[in-house]
A and B are shown apart, each in its own frame.
Chain A
Amino acid sequence: MPDQAQLLPGTLDLLILRAVSLGPLHGYGILLRIAQISGNALLVEQGALYPGLFRLVRQGLLKASWGTSENNRRAKFYELTAAGCRRLREETENWNRLATAIGTALAAQPEEA
């Protein structure tokens, strides 16, 4: 998959929050959702998702409950807590500011005299 980009460190948490904000999902579902909303442009190794998920649960940003998947498998579903919603908003703003700043910096042309 040549046109997939590696994730920047720290961005996986943001992506997870974003994916779950669209509705409760199990772990595999989150991966699919990330692929879908990023247009298959981001590479996430599957196992790497879980340490991030558990970290977010521990921080109280996600809550988890067991349920049944669409093809009748037992799976754990994650959804945002109130704190999670708040964090997603903050992180999104942060990210946008950062992206704009970096974009601006990279787009800047040398000033002509």
Chain B
Amino acid sequence: MNIFGWFRSVFAKLFRGSAIADEMNEELRSHIQLRADDLERSGISRAEAERRARIDFGGYEHYREESNEAFGAHFIETFLQDIRYSLRVLRNSPGFALVAVFTLALAIGANAVVFGVLNALILRPLNLPDTQSLHAIQRGKDHAINHSYLDYLDLRDRNHSFDDLAAYTVTSVGLDTGNNPTSAWIFETTGNYFDVLGVQPFLGRFYHRPDEHGPNSAPFIVLTHAYWHSHFQDDRGVVGREVQVNKHPFTILGVAPPEFHGNLLFLAPDFWVPLVNQEQVEGLYVLNQRGNRDLMMVLGHRKSGVKPAQAIADLNSVGTWMQKNNPNDDGDMTFSLASPALAGDWLGGPMRQFLTGLMLLAGLILLAACANLGSLFAAHAADRSREIALRLALGSSRRRIVRHVFTEALLISLMGGAVGLGGSVMLLRGLSVWRPLSTVAPDLHVPVSPDGRVYAIALLLALASGMLFGAVPVRQVLRTNPYEVVKSDSSGKIRRRITVRDLMLIAQIAICAVLVTSSLVAVRGLVRSLNSKFGFDPKNAMIVSTDLNMAGYRGDSLPPMQKRIIEALLAIPGVKAVGLIDREPLYFGANDTTVFTDKTADLRPSKAAAQPMLYNVSPGYFGAARTTLLAGRDFTWHDDKSAPRIAVVNREFAERIFGSVPRAIGAYFKGSDGMRVQVVGVVEDGKYASLTEDRQPALFLPIAQSGSGQANLAVRSNRDPQQLDAAIKSTLRNLDAGLPFTIELWQNSLKDSALFAPRVATMALGVLGFMGAVLSVAGIFGMAAYSVSKRLRELGIRVALGAQRREVLEAALGRALKLLAFGSAAGLVLGLLATRVLAYIVYQATPRDPLVMTGVVLAMALLGLVATWIPARRALSVDPMKLLREE
């Protein structure tokens, strides 16, 4: 046959499908009429003639289908027919269709959202040229992302495998454009930063490596497009304008293009400043200290033709050279490569772990939904067993009926997928504009807008799950024996053995119990972390954050100003205690330092006695923060630069270096610079860098001896926070109107920092747990309602014979509840095993918590109760007389 003819008939089928089917029907019917005419002529009645004609014709349905097939374009024709038929079936059972679509929409939606986040944060490359060869360099066994400037210079100048290497660090500054000083997030970068990343300016120019001529030689800033838009109203005249950065004049060089937000995915700076001006920007210059690993990241493009492994080997050989030349400062100088977008393994590691875990749970949701839909479909097919039997008896092939079932499943899955995807796209869009930390870092965001990959995955998952749950009733269809079914009432048989549907339900409930368990573990962990001992008391205290560098205070002018601020705040009526600490503990990482025992003469990092957290605090801080002083004394304002160097340490520090708390008082240790420091006090242990950390040594130095401009003032009072807020504001304005500051409840500030990750984790797990609960309710409800409706007549007879309410309920729902118990037990055990994974994110996520176990059991029982309530009511309200009459 020629190919055009085939195409023509295919298209004819496609567009005139039903017309052709009608024509075929007409032809077959006319055949039967013609035959009947003949038979009538032989002298029998018309009715009898038509009956005989039909018998002579044979299986009408069978031949019609075969004819259809012979007619060509079989696949598409029957496919369209199947779709029309399935739509009709679904329209006839709207409840079933609605529940199925909703269930699947929930599951596909959850998967699309989680995948959307995973895709945006982990899989999608940065919006920069050549990201495959762009690497951040990590150091040592724990993949530290930070480096010192001198190490960076060695890496940059001595490697042979990168085109060039840039470095930057993140900090906040006060920017004064002439009226009100505001605080801004900035990147301090090396001069070659823009050239290394391959970005061209939108307006004006960028600074480059030749602009750098030693400290404070390049007072330039480059604005991001967004900041230019929001703070300079798209004014093209900003180029060349002079602004004040921490009271130092800087010139605006240019504006970056709108699509360039720096190389971090979640934090866009407001502008960029050359790193060589660090002294003006941060108030101190540490670029000449090899041991000061203050740079956030070193990054660059691998040369074309150099493999990552070769680049690492090259960097390691530079590292060996550095170690040999700087034995005092450089410890483990081995290197690895990482993606710069999430600051390497520092953020990327836990994020990858968390998202992978979440994806797994979302996959479980989908699996549970498939189990749910599978049993729904099996029940649906069982309800239609008479119809299926009739079709079989009329000569329809089993293959065709199975195809119907699959078409129905695919229709449901596509509809559910579309609804779920729609919801998730909305959710992802919302997430993208969400600013989780609007007070401290308004630019921090999660750019997760969906792309083609998300749509593709959602479609794929929908189709795959459609095939999966569509396959459940296939065995049932294949084994249908038309004669048996037509002969007997299909509802007459109740099989007692475990059916596929039972197994589906158990699996589904088990999965849901896993989800409920993990979300309860997460919630419990969050509650615990809210109430755990931090080593300070954030309740009923405000934290006032400022940076004296932003207002131009330096060196010796710092301590008097700090003292004046503290005294002014203490003078506010109702304020009981005020203390200053340079970095809020638990607030986005911490500084640490190396210390040596007093006897150590060799001050190489490998000989260090400990690596304690380092804080500079004012006299009275421990009191204001409610950090218990275990022994010795607090600092006083006399502990200044002219006094001997002293320190307060925590219990862990005291025990690790001196053996015990009492032996620490009055003892000496050596700081990283080799100076002897005397311990005058010991305080309780606390949490410093993260809630999940082990006991850490910590070292507190008097602020008057260290000269740090960063100031976080803990203000404890019994006044209403809002009134206090106003009072603090006016007090600080009176002291210095040019000082930018923020005031927050200490608890809220903590919520945005240390508690942020557990909060997000709890939210995500909570949502998934809730979805699991909804799915299990749907599953149990479906099963219970179905079994009650199938056995209404039996229940009616039982009631008529005098069964008690308890017995009726047991007969109607016993099986569903038994399955629920099985599934929950299995799920609890699995959940306990799985929640170990949660320990990474959630503080004290111990699943062997009796409260969690009881919680899960209670939750599942409650869900069972909710789900079986309506079917139970229906079973109890059975009126035997009415029922038996109807039958």
A residues sitting closer than 8 Å to B (CB atoms) are 26-29, 45-48, 50-55, 57-60, 69, 71, 73-76
Q: Would you list the 4 A-B pairs with minimal beta carbon distance, nearest first?
A: A47-B63, A47-B58, A28-B34, A51-B66
| CB-nearest residue of chain A to B33 | A73
> Which of B26, B28, B35, B67 is in CB contact (< 8 Å) with A74?
B26
Quick check: A73 and B67 within 8 Å, CB to CB? no
Contact A76 to B34, CB < 8 A, known contacts A47-B63, A51-B67, A52-B70:
no
| CB-nearest residue of chain B to A55 | B70
Task: Give chain A residues whose Cβ lies under 8 Å from the Cβ of B94.
Answer: none
Quick check: B2 and A54 within 8 Å, CB to CB? no
Quick check: A48 and B27 within 8 Å, CB to CB? no
CA distance A56 to B582 in the complex (A): 92
Quick check: B67 and A27 within 8 Å, CB to CB? no
Contact A46 to B58, CB < 8 A, known contacts A51-B63, A52-B70:
yes
Contact A74 to B60, CB < 8 A, known contacts A58-B1, A60-B1, A60-B5:
no
> Which of A28, A48, A58 is in CB contact (< 8 Å) with B58?
A48
Quick check: B33 and A54 within 8 Å, CB to CB? no
| CB-nearest residue of chain B to A72 | B37
Quick check: A47 and B70 within 8 Å, CB to CB? no
CA distance A29 to B30 in the complex (A): 11
| CB-nearest residue of chain A to B1 | A59
B residues sitting closer than 8 Å to A (CB atoms) are 1-2, 5, 9, 24, 26-28, 30-31, 33-35, 37, 56-60, 62-64, 66-67, 69-72
Quick check: B34 and A75 within 8 Å, CB to CB? yes
| CB-nearest residue of chain B to A76 | B27
Given contacts A54-B71, A69-B30, 7 further A-B contacts (CB under 8 A): A28-B30, A45-B58, A51-B70, A58-B70, A60-B2, A60-B5, A74-B30
How distant is A57 from chain B, measured CB to nearest CB, in Å?
8
Quick check: A75 and B63 within 8 Å, CB to CB? no
CA distance A59 to B72 in the complex (A): 10
CA distance A60 to B71 in the complex (A): 11
Quick check: B37 and A71 within 8 Å, CB to CB? yes
**Taking chain B's interface residues, is the majority helix, strand, or loop, or is none over half, making it mixed?**
helix
How distant is A71 from chain B, measured CB to nearest CB, in Å?
6
> Which of B30, B57, B66 is in CB contact (< 8 Å) with A75?
B30
How distant is A103 from chain B, measured CB to nearest CB, in Å?
32
CA distance A48 to B71 in the complex (A): 14
Quick check: B56 and A46 within 8 Å, CB to CB? yes
Quick check: A54 and B26 within 8 Å, CB to CB? no
| CB-nearest residue of chain B to A71 | B37
CA distance A46 to B30 in the complex (A): 13
> Which of A46, A54, A55, A60 is in CB contact (< 8 Å) with B31?
A46
CA distance A53 to B64 in the complex (A): 12
CA distance A88 to B27 in the complex (A): 25
Task: Give chain B residues whose Cβ lies under 8 Å from the Cβ of A52.
Answer: 70
CA distance A54 to B62 in the complex (A): 15
CA distance A59 to B1 in the complex (A): 5
CA distance A58 to B56 in the complex (A): 26
Quick check: A46 and B57 within 8 Å, CB to CB? yes
9 sample A-B contacts, Cβ–Cβ < 8 Å, listed by A number: A28-B35, A46-B35, A46-B57, A47-B58, A47-B63, A50-B31, A73-B33, A73-B37, A75-B31
Task: Give chain A residues whose Cβ lies under 8 Å from the Cβ of B28.
Answer: 47, 50
How distant is A73 from chain B, measured CB to nearest CB, in Å?
6
| CB-nearest residue of chain B to A28 | B34
CA distance A28 to B34 in the complex (A): 7
> Which of B2, B57, B72 is in CB contact (< 8 Å) with A47?
B57
Contact A47 to B60, CB < 8 A, known contacts A59-B1, A76-B27:
yes
Quick check: B9 and A58 within 8 Å, CB to CB? yes
| Most chain A C-beta atoms within 10 Å of own C-beta, residue among B2, B37, B56, B70 | B70
CA distance A29 to B31 in the complex (A): 9
Quick check: B34 and A50 within 8 Å, CB to CB? no
Task: Give chain A residues whose Cβ lies under 8 Å from the Cβ of B72.
Answer: 58
Task: Give chain A residues whose Cβ lies under 8 Å from the Cβ of B27.
Answer: 27, 50, 75-76
| Most chain A C-beta atoms within 10 Å of own C-beta, residue among B26, B31, B66, B70 | B31
Contact A27 to B31, CB < 8 A, known contacts A52-B70, A55-B70:
yes
Quick check: B63 and A73 within 8 Å, CB to CB? no
CA distance A58 to B10 in the complex (A): 11
Task: Give chain A residues whose Cβ lies under 8 Å from the Cβ of B66.
Answer: 50-51
How distant is A84 from chain B, measured CB to nearest CB, in Å?
13
Task: Give chain A residues whose Cβ lies under 8 Å from the Cβ of B58.
Answer: 45-48
> Which of A28, A50, A60 is in CB contact (< 8 Å) with B67?
A50
How distant is A28 from chain B, measured CB to nearest CB, in Å?
4
Quick check: B34 and A73 within 8 Å, CB to CB? yes
Task: Give chain B residues whose Cβ lies under 8 Å from the Cβ of A75.
Answer: 27, 30-31, 34
How distant is A75 from chain B, measured CB to nearest CB, in Å?
5
CA distance A5 to B64 in the complex (A): 25
CA distance A76 to B25 in the complex (A): 12
How distant is B8 from chain A, measured CB to nearest CB, in Å?
11
How distant is B529 from chain A, measured CB to nearest CB, in Å?
73
CA distance A52 to B67 in the complex (A): 8
> Which of A29, A50, A71 is in CB contact (< 8 Å) with B63?
A50
Quick check: A26 and B34 within 8 Å, CB to CB? yes
| CB-nearest residue of chain B to A58 | B72
CA distance A26 to B31 in the complex (A): 8
How distant is A66 from chain B, measured CB to nearest CB, in Å?
9
Task: Give chain B residues whose Cβ lies under 8 Å from the Cβ of A29.
Answer: 34
